[in-house]
């Protein structure tokens, strides 16, 4: 699934941050099209 799709990463500061998820996708040989870390306050 990760290898045949372009991944959009929507991390959150209070959950799991975008760069951490993006690193997981890349390690799974996936391609990240966009990554952000959102912050709800």
By CB under 8 A, name the binding residues for other proteins.
1-3, 5-12, 14-18, 20-21, 23-25, 27-28, 30, 33-34, 36-38, 40
Q: How far is the CB of 29 from other proteins (least distance, A)?
A: 9
The full DSSP string for the chain is --TTSEEEEEEETTS--HHHHHHHHHHTT-EEEEEEEE---
Q: How far is the CB of 32 from other proteins (least distance, A)?
A: 9
Q: How far is the CB of 14 from other proteins (least distance, A)?
A: 4
Residue partners of 5: CB distance under 8 A and separation at least 6 = 30, 31
């Amino acid at each position: 699934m990760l290898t045949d799709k372009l991944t959009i990463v929507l991390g959150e500061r209070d959950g799991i941050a975008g760069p951490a998820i993006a690193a997981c996708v890349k390690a799974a040989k996936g391609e990240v099209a966009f990554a952000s870390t959102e912050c709800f306050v």
